[in-house]
Amino acid sequence: MSIVITGGAGFIGSCLLKKLNIAGITDIVIVDELGSTEKWKNLLGKQYEDYVDKDFFLDALSKGTFDKTIDCIIHLGACSSTTETNAAYLMDNNFNYSKKLAEWTIRNKKRFLYASSAATYGAGEKGYSDRDTVAPTLMPLNMYGYSKHAFDLWVLKNNLQKIFVGFKFFNIFGPNEYHKEDMRSMIHKGYQHIKQKGTIRLFKSYRKEYGDGEQKRDFMYVQDAVDVVGYFFNNPQKTGIYNVGTGKAHSWNELACAIFKALDLNPSIEYFDMPHTLREKYQYFTEADITKLRQAGFSSSFLKLEDAVKEYVALLETTQYI
């Protein structure tokens, strides 16, 4: 089977590439946009057949270059910046690009697996169920979340959840994320701040029901996330849009303390003002409902947060990537 991984040099994509290589799969085309970033290092030591720039790839698809050589597209490439305000760019990159890839797979009867996001859930007013009937009611808080939500809605409107697989990734962290700048996880940013200043800085809370640092997210180790992707890749009869999270929310304070513990240090946490531009767009709580994922047959357990942080910090002590 020939596989395309868009975003294959990125964070989740490169970890998936390694997982596939370990399984003996190397007939892979990497589609990405390296630019002047350091994420080329995520391809070191990995095996694949070809690398294609993301813009050239779309053009080549439209010309029929890959019609007979691709069996499956795993579409993980996107602009993942939750603070990006260029709506036209996000819709072109995250919605239109995804739609063109999806339409190609339909015409050519190929498999399509793609990345959505927990940002589609907004403030969580409708909960965090990935049932198809809930999706149309969701209200994302930022343009990034909306661009992902728009594609989910297009999939559902056209009944494509019956042949596609979508992954609503929650807060994924782990090796190979170093190039993501402000979009790096707090584990990566916090680890660096501890090394430089001896402290971790967390946002203050602006809702009385949450103390400073007590805002909660569903944090998932990247190795667990790619295990979910791998499960659906290996079980083509399983389709639909699924949450990819642990099902257990933890506070930023808990996360910070786990980093300090992994470094054998006493916690030192500073709280600072959240930028005004984020205060109305900030998710105070996320927790994946993974009922549907379990019903689909994915039964593996996920690493506990403290254990996952410990493993990641140990990697950060020696390298930035795997």
The answer to whether 282 is a known catalytic residue is: no
The pair of structure tokens assigned to 278 is 């984020």
Residue 33's H or E segment, with its range, is none
Catalytic residue among 121, 128, 144, 242: 144
Reference 39, options 97, 91, 80, 68; nearest CA is: 80
How far apart CA 229 and CA 63 sit, in angstroms, is: 29
Q: Give the strand pairing for 219-221 and 3-6.
A: unpaired
Q: Do the beta carbons of residue 276 and residue 243 sit within 8 Å?
A: no
CB-CB contact of 234 with 289 (8 Å): no
Q: Are 239 and 164 in contact (CB under 8 A)?
A: yes
The Cα-based distances of 251 to 33, 90, 190, 203, 224 in angstroms read 34, 29, 14, 12, 20
180 a catalytic residue: yes
Contact of 73 with 99, CB cutoff 8 Å: no
Catalytic residue among 180, 238, 261, 310: 180
What residues are labeled active site?
Answer: 144, 180
